[in-house]
Amino acid sequence: MEIDALQAAPANTSLKLHRYQKIVVNDKHRFRVVVAGRRWGKTQVAKISIIRAAASKCNQLVWYVAPTYLQARDIMWDDLKMSIPRAWIATINEQRMTIRLINGSRIALKGADKPDSLRGVGLHFLVIDEAQDVKKEAWEMILQPTLATTNGRALFIGTPKAFNWLYDIYMLGQRGDIIRDERGRMVPNEWMSWQFPTITSPFIPRREIEARRRDMDPRTFRQEFEASFQTMSGRVYYPFDRDEHVGDYPFDPRAPIYIGMDFNIDPMSAVIIQEKENGEIWVVDEKVLYGSNAQEMADELARCYYRYFNQISIYPDPAGNNRNHDRGESSIEILREAGFKNIYFKRKHPLVQDRVNAVNRLLMTAEGDIRLRVDRKCRKLIDSLEQTIYKEGSREVDKSLGVEHVTDALGYYADFRHPIRKMRILGVSI
């Protein structure tokens, strides 16, 4: 029994597609690659493609693969269950995240972090979501062979992350409809690829995109919203320029004091920050203590700022809430015992890239506005802003130089006080 997947779509708002999503879903190439900006609707394309593949023929095996099993559940599972008409569903297994349709087709959600679960099956259709975060080997060594026996099809979806394997397969789809194979013969190209900036989604108001342009640093905006493959290698805090950002920015004893803090034995790091009425953010001092601990940092801050306790707010590394000291106290509890009452941190540890993006946005927005200024005596912070780099070919911070802790401290403050804002969505776009 075949199911007409197209027939039910108009009655279900969760199955609606905008113009550019339809181009992808209706394309007939065996391998399709979608590189799109933030909130363009990549997951919507994945969901519709999965449902159509499973419903259009009997006894199809369809997989959705995310970088991790948990991501597969968070991104797709609940939405997929709600989007498939109940009359089409024979059984649902919540624990294994599988759905069997009345036509015998099976849909399963998988995580690329569990490679043993990806072997030994003949797939008819495969979606790899957030492909930029999936290891190339997972596709080439494990998943691609599962399509061979069935001549199965695959859809790759992601956001650029430098020139990794997502870029490589994207370029396969840019070679034209007819290509020359290994034997020199002209054959149809099995690959097709598209690059869609966020602005091509009708569900994202233009003013929201322009707001993010003001809210993000130039490189991240190009990558996240324009779907640019511009590499993130090199300096992490690339907008920083001594001539632009460093000067004399003295401490104001009357103004509120904000302290970003990174808990690390070598070194313990804190940056002292004040926000000005004109919107500028001044880093007026730093404390970097080698071979130290939370108690010594608390004592040092108390010694320097004991007159201003009521003006101080601290934004520490959330890991400092763990009880890991000999006397059974957490680093944050030690700060409280030292007299610091206003301590703010996220219960979930912020992603490194979120912290980096928050700092870079303060250094310079995509419109060229500068808000962050650093006093010239903050030499460790200046060195860290200049010297912290990415590992070659990745967006992972290279920690081998040991210079990143003081910028981490700045990042905890920036991510809490000035986070990258979430985008407002109109209609269906996930």
| DSSP per-residue codes, 163-231 | SSHHHHHHHHTTS-SEEE-TTS-EEE--EEEEEE-GGG-TTS-HHHHHHHHHHS-HHHHHHHHS-----
pLDDT, averaged across the chain: 88
Contact 68, 130 (CB under 8 A): no
Contact 97, 72 (CB under 8 A): yes
Q: Which residues in the chain show pLDDT less than 50? A: 5-11, 13, 423-430
pLDDT of the residue at 321 = 77
Q: Would you list the domain boundaries of the chain?
A: 18-200, 242-417
Q: At what angle do helices 405-417 and 379-387 cross, to 10 degrees?
A: 90
Backbone CA torsion sign across 132, 398, 347, 255? negative
pLDDT of the residue at 12 = 53
Contacts of 416 (CB under 8 A, 6+ apart): 315, 344, 345, 346, 350
Class of the domain covering 18-200: alpha beta
pLDDT of the residue at 6 = 42
Q: Which fold has domain 242-417?
A: Nucleotidyltransferase; domain 5 (3.30.420)
Contacts of 308 (CB under 8 A, 6+ apart): 253, 257
For tokens 């912020």, the residue is 350
pLDDT of the residue at 207 = 82
Judged by DSSP in three states, 244 sits in helix
Written as six digits, the tokens of 117 are: 């679960």
pLDDT single digits (tens) 47-94: 999 999 999 999 999 999 999 999 999 999 999 999 999 999 999 999
pLDDT single digits (tens) 370-400: 999 999 999 999 999 988 988 866 678 888 8
pLDDT of the residue at 289 = 93
Judged by DSSP in three states, 347 sits in coil
User: pTM for this one?
Assistant: 0.59
